[in-house]
Structures are given as C-alpha cells and as structure tokens.
Chains A and B, each alone.
Chain A
C-alpha cells in the first residue's frame, strides 16, 4: 500500500469513527427533542442555542458521576460488558460504503474503509457479538433485574437475527453478491431494492428495531418492569457506553437499511446533473446521510408512537410470523428470478 493510500485510509477511518460518535451524541439530543415535539413539549433548550450543547453537558455529567461496581458483581466481566457493546457498535461501520469514490491528484480513492466481499455476513457476525456485551453485563451485575433483562435481550436478538438473515437472503439472491458496495452499485438512480423487495424491507426494518433494542422491542431495558434491564447496576460512563452503543447501533442500522434497500449514495438524476466526479460523489454522500437521518428519525418516531410488546407476543411475532414470511419471500423471489432468467434466455436465443 502506498503512503498516499495509507494516509487517506487513516484519515477516513478517523473520520468515520468521529462522525459516528458525533451522530450518536446528537442522536441523544435529537431523541429528546423529537420526543418532546411528539408530546407537544419543547425539549432541552437551556444549554446553548436550542439546547445544542446538551449532549456535551450530558457527557460531562456522565463522567462526573460516581462509579459504582456492586460488591457482589464480577468485576472483570462487569467492565467487559459495556466495552464489548461499544466496541462492536463501532466496528460495523467498517464495511459500509459512505460514497462512491474521490479522485485526488488523479488517483481514485474509494470512500469505504474496506470492501469485504462478505460485507453483510461481517455485519451480522459483529452484531451478534454485540449480544455478548448485554449478556455479560447483565450476568456480571449479579442482580435479578439485570439477569432477566440480559436473558430477554439474548433470546430476542437470536430470534430476530434469524428472520433478519433470511430477509437478506432474498436480496442476496437478486443481487448475487454479499458485498455491500456491490449491492449499492446494483441499484443506480431510483432502482432501489425497496421497490422490488418491499416485504423483505419490511421484515428487515422490523428486525432492525429488535436488534437495536428499540421500542416496540425494548423489553431488555423496559423501565416499567425491570428497572433498567441489563444496565440496572451500571452507573457513570459505563452506563453511558451502553446508551451510546444503542445510538451508534441505531445509526449503523439506518445506514445498512439505506445501503441495502434505498440505494445508498445513489439518487435519481444525480449522475445526469453533469457535475464533476468528486462533486457527484460528495453530493451522493450528503444525500445518503439525509436518508440515514430520516431513518434515525423514523426509529424515534416509532418509539414515541407504539407501546411495548409483551414478551410472548414478541416471541410469537419473531418465530411464527416473521420467519415464515421471510421464507415465503425467499420462495417468491426464487420463482420470479427463475422465470425472469428463462424469459431472458429465450429472448436472446
């Protein structure tokens, strides 16, 4: 690897890392603001103009709080829990294509940290490690509420990962690749996958809610039953890490939804504007972030609309409805692909 490549990669990695942290930070602000607006309130508006410094104030507060590790907790695991949650949350952004490519000094740089040819599998792998963060944290707390929360989280995530994976299979069958970049490239202009895979998109969206522990699937941390769920015993920045990881996960989930079903950095008429290559790429990235922000907003929107599921309803939905639907989606896609392929072959001959 050349020096220029290396420098670009390092800058890009730091950039992606920083951007995802900042977005997660301001998601907490946005969540409070959006929640307030949905409930006819104003929301945080004291720290800075429009309360824009609120996340900083919250961060300072988190650091200043007393750090408590319960006497009966397993110390090493107790610290490991939030660390894993945070680490896995940050790791997923590696395979997401944030834009097409930039040409600097006549050399093309791809706006993606690494284009793994099994990108989606990588995402799934890392996300399923994220469950360990919650499980270990809940177990190490030595608290019944935490343990119940952790149990719920792990069984919920495992059940919904299945449906999520199956809903992706139909998409993979269509595009014939597991690389996220290639999936994005396969939906130029407005040929977004959501129009050909509406059922798959719906399933994926529902599972994404479950994977990020957001309402209506926030049973692992439901305040009304389990105090705080798996993070009941956590305080200070360890609690901050758990909450932060949830927001990063939300950002990454939105990014993946956008990449898989909404054309990533593609946008209708973007390439016909006649702009230079770099400008088009940057505009594409901006549009992609617009789509991502819409989905983050959608996550919040749903949170303040729908009540929480009961646990047996959650399991029923996962195993008895979503998985059969995902299988059905695969079958339909397979049939359609087969006929299309046949027709295409006959038309050529």
Chain B
C-alpha cells in the first residue's frame, strides 16, 4: 500500500571497481578542498573591521531626552509591565519647581534599573513606551565578572545632554513608528 507518492526506492547496488578503490573519490575530495584554498575568506578581522549591524539591531538600552535635553520618561511603568523577563524596575518621583529643564513632564523616574542578566533584548519595552523614551541601540552590552555590575541604572541608560553625544536611534525609531 502506498500512502504518499514521495517514497524513494533505495538502490543498494554493488560498488564499481573505481568506487571500491576509493582513490578517485579521495582525489575528488582533495580537489574540492584545494579549490577552497583560494576562495575568498569569510573571516572578519574583528577589532579592525567591524561587521555592520542591521539598523534595527537590539542592544544596549538608552533612555532618550527630547530636543531641549529633558528626559522623556515619566515612570508610567508600562515597560516594566511589558517586559517578559521582568528585568525593569523603577521608582517614580514628582518634578520639583525649577527642574523643568531636566524632566519633560511632572512625573519622572528617580530610579530606573534594567537587570541586563535578565533582559532578553526583545524590544517589548520600546514597543510599550508611549513617550518614545526607551530604545534599544546598536551598542553591545559588555561582559563582566560581577553580577552586581549588570544592573544598569540611570547613569548608564540616560543619554548625555550634549547634542553631539546624543545616541542615534533613527533606525529603531523608524520601525517603532511604523507599528
């Protein structure tokens, strides 16, 4: 009985003399490896040559500021809720008078921590954020020896105020706005 028409007949024919000698096959193999000898090498010599990341690469997080250098984050906690790895924790605080130049809205995150050992770089925090405050960048999170060092606070996450030190997230932003 035939269930499908995909069955193949196995042919167990005797090997011919040339096949039993193995030497022609070995010569063929040698020829193949010899061709590879002159092929273009696929290696990328890392520190000197860096492989280009895709524009939507998801690496080190950044907490964005707006054009006037004010933090976007309002500590709403949506990112923490969206995070499947439960890597994000934050403490909200009220903006005091005189701090208008630092925080965009009346509420801000006084503490914002991402545990990079828990983070799976899925980008759901970015998707959940209503204020375009958190983004994943093409920066690589470096390895380390201490677990404690992997809890990144605002000192490592918030981007610098200076215009020339801002983190470029145009690639992610494009993808973000499309959704």
Cβ contact within 8 Å between B37 and A45: no
Cβ contact within 8 Å between B37 and A38: yes
CB distance from A23 to the nearest CB of B (A): 21
B36 in complex: contacting residue of A40, A45, A302, A306, CB < 8 Å? A40
| Interface of chain A residues 291 through 316 with chain B (CB within 8 A) | 301-302, 304-306
Q: In the complex, which residues of chain A have a beta carbon less than 8 angstroms from the beta carbon of B30?
A: 301-302, 305
Q: Report whether over half of chain B's contact residues are helix, strand or loop; otherwise say mixed.
A: helix
Cβ contact within 8 Å between A41 and B26: no
Cβ contact within 8 Å between B33 and A40: no
Closest to A41 in B: B43
Q: Does A50 contact B (CB under 8 A)?
A: no
Cβ contact within 8 Å between B43 and A304: no
Q: In the complex, which residues of chain B have a beta carbon less than 8 angstroms from the beta carbon of A37?
A: 36-37, 41
| Interface of chain B residues 1 through 50 with chain A (CB within 8 A) | 26, 29-30, 32-34, 36-37, 39-43, 45
Q: Report whether over half of chain A's contact residues are helix, strand or loop; otherwise say mixed.
A: loop
Q: In the complex, which residues of chain B have a beta carbon less than 8 angstroms from the beta carbon of A301?
A: 30, 33-34
Cβ contact within 8 Å between A306 and B45: no
**Total A-B residue pairs with C-beta atoms closer than 8 Å?**
33
Q: Chain A interface residue count: which class? A: 10 to 19
Q: In the complex, which residues of chain A have a beta carbon less than 8 angstroms from the beta carbon of B26?
A: 302, 305-306
Complex CA distance for A52 and B29, rounded to whole angstroms: 29
Cβ contact within 8 Å between A40 and B45: no
Complex CA distance for A42 and B43, rounded to whole angstroms: 6
Cβ contact within 8 Å between B45 and A39: no
Q: In the complex, which residues of chain B have a beta carbon less than 8 angstroms from the beta carbon of A40?
A: 36, 39-43
CB distance from B22 to the nearest CB of A (A): 9
- For A24-43 the 0/1 string (1 means CB < 8 A from B) is 00000000000001111110
Cβ contact within 8 Å between A306 and B29: yes
Cβ contact within 8 Å between A305 and B41: no
| Interface of chain A residues 31 through 78 with chain B (CB within 8 A) | 37-42, 45
CB distance from A235 to the nearest CB of B (A): 26
CB distance from A305 to the nearest CB of B (A): 5
Complex CA distance for A45 and B37, rounded to whole angstroms: 17
CB distance from A204 to the nearest CB of B (A): 15
Q: In the complex, which residues of chain A have a beta carbon less than 8 angstroms from the beta carbon of B37?
A: 37-38
Extra contacts besides A41-B41, A305-B29, A305-B30 (10): CB < 8 Å: A37-B37, A38-B33, A38-B37, A40-B36, A40-B41, A301-B30, A301-B34, A304-B33, A305-B26, A305-B33
Residues of B in contact with A (beta carbons under 8 Å apart):
26, 29-30, 32-34, 36-37, 39-43, 45
Q: List 18 A-B contacts (CB under 8 A).
A: A37-B36, A37-B37, A38-B36, A38-B37, A40-B40, A40-B41, A41-B41, A41-B42, A41-B43, A42-B43, A45-B45, A301-B30, A302-B26, A302-B30, A305-B26, A305-B32, A305-B33, A306-B26
Residues of A in contact with B (beta carbons under 8 Å apart):
37-42, 45, 301-302, 304-306
Q: Which 5 A-B pairs have the closest CB atoms?
A: A42-B43, A305-B33, A305-B29, A38-B33, A37-B37
